[in-house]
Amino acid sequence: MLKKIIVAILSSILFCLALAWFSYSPAKEGEPDVYHWTYWSLFMVYMIYAAPVYLLGGVPCAVLIDRLIGKLGDANKVIDYVRCLSAYMLAGLLTTYLFLVIISEGDLFVWTSPNRGFFGLGMGASVLYYHVLLVVNRIGRPTHPHLANE
């Protein structure tokens, strides 16, 4: 469990660094007399939202995915990878949906055009989590056989 929390923190940092990089525009390209977000201020604002989602949504989903995938049994490495990747993408989609429902004060119909980008970000964030978990497991002792890279 501690490993999953560490992976969630690392993943949220990497995710927010990348998101800030894509969102940032230099001050000289902005309008004069208009507030300009620095790269690090964007990073911190994104962390305020992303870190709790990773910790409160991602870690429980990762534990659940490990249990479900573990019950399926081991297949070859490619099938295990696709199973896990698909499960993490679905978890990212569902976690993003719950996040949007919470911040919209209970609106269950948040699957609208303006929010569709958030669902892609959620799936991307969960895929990032999965790959950081694979790297951490490669460095340390894997917690489950389906995550081991022999």
Q: What is the pLDDT of residues 45-65, one digit of tens each?
A: 999 988 998 998 889 999 999
Number of domains comprising the chain: 1
For the cut 70, the answer to whether the pLDDT of residue 121 exceeds it is: yes
**Higher pLDDT residue, 10 or 34?**
10
Residue type for 85, please?
A: L
The proportion of the chain whose per-residue pLDDT surpasses 70, expressed as a percent, equals 84
The residue type found at 101 is V
State the residue range of the domain holding 40: 2-147
3-state SS of 4-40?
Answer: HHHHHHHHHHHHHHHHHHHHCCCHHHCCCCCCCCCHH
Site of tokens 């390209």: 29
